[in-house]
Amino acid sequence: MHQTERPLRADARRNRESILDSAGELFAAYGSRVEMEQIAQHAGVGTGTLYRHFPNKQALLIAIVRNRFRGLADLARAAEQIGDPGEAFETVLRTYLEAAENDAGFQMAILGSNDLDWEGADAEKAAFRKIIARIIRRGVDSGQLRGDLTVEDFPVISCGIMSTMYFKPSKADWRRHLELVLNGLRAPRP
């Protein structure tokens, strides 16, 4: 909500929350195939109410992604408190992927990020990125992570692993891919 907008009435706020909850569930289960009318029905609101809050599926997905990144920032903050820098990085990457594991909508948003207008979720995404950058820097500085690992690598690494979840190639296990990636990111032992 922008600073110039008035706060929502209690009933409108409940409707918005119901829409976001329902859309989150349906996007998580079915990805982009979900229709706005299905979301309205699942939320127990009319399509007019849905479109007053979210003019299109893109706006609704952005709101869901914003909420998701707020939660991911909380996960990253918790991982940042881990004393061991290597374990902190492994924890943040693992919990990020575990949070996305059963959410086809979030996977779709992240993997198709070139198609998504991130303008509505920039602040949340930037807050998450800052925490990730600190975790990576600490891991590199401690000598536990490769010296050439940067925050720019995090989305590439996580998308690579997430694609295993989303596309489900035969006999592929994203957790196995995660372990392979983590082994490659650890600094070589002298």
Cα 182 versus chain centre, distance: 20
Instruction: Output b/e per residue, 24-47; b: 16+ Cβ within 10 A.
Output: bbbbbeebeebebeebbebbebee
Distances (CA, A) of 97 to 9, 40, 41, 47, 91: 36, 29, 30, 33, 10
Residue 134's pLDDT is what? 98
CA dist., res. 172 & res. 16, Å (int):
37
Average pLDDT, the chain: 87
Q: Which two tokens stand for residue 167?
A: 């596309």
Backbone angles phi, psi at 138, to 5 degrees: -65, -40
What's the CATH code, domain 61-185? 1.10.357.10
Three-class secondary structure of residue 11 per DSSP: helix
CA dist., res. 47 & res. 20, Å (int):
14
Give yes or no for residue 147 having a pLDDT over 70.
Answer: yes
CA dist., res. 185 & res. 92, Å (int):
14
% of the chain residues with pLDDT over 70:
91
Give domain limits for the chain.
1-55, 61-185
Give yes or no for residue 154 having a pLDDT over 90.
Answer: yes
Residue 2's pLDDT is what? 44
Q: Which two tokens stand for residue 72?
A: 């991911």
Give yes or no for residue 3 having a pLDDT over 60.
Answer: no
Give yes or no for residue 50 having a pLDDT over 60.
Answer: yes
Residue 1's pLDDT is what? 46
CA dist., res. 66 & res. 69, Å (int):
5
**pLDDT level of residue 171 (50, 70, 90 thresholds):** confident
What's the CATH code, domain 1-55? 1.10.10.60
Q: Which amino acid is at 42?
A: H
| pLDDT tens digits, 74-120 | 999 999 999 999 999 999 999 999 999 888 778 877 887 555 566 66
The larger pLDDT score, comparing residue 187 to residue 87, is at 87
Instruction: Quote the pTM value.
Output: 0.81
The larger pLDDT score, comparing residue 64 to residue 127, is at 127
Paired with 186 in beta bridges are 145
Q: Are residues 141 and 127 in contact, defined by beta-carbon separation less than 8 angstroms? A: no
Give yes or no for residue 142 having a pLDDT over 60.
Answer: yes
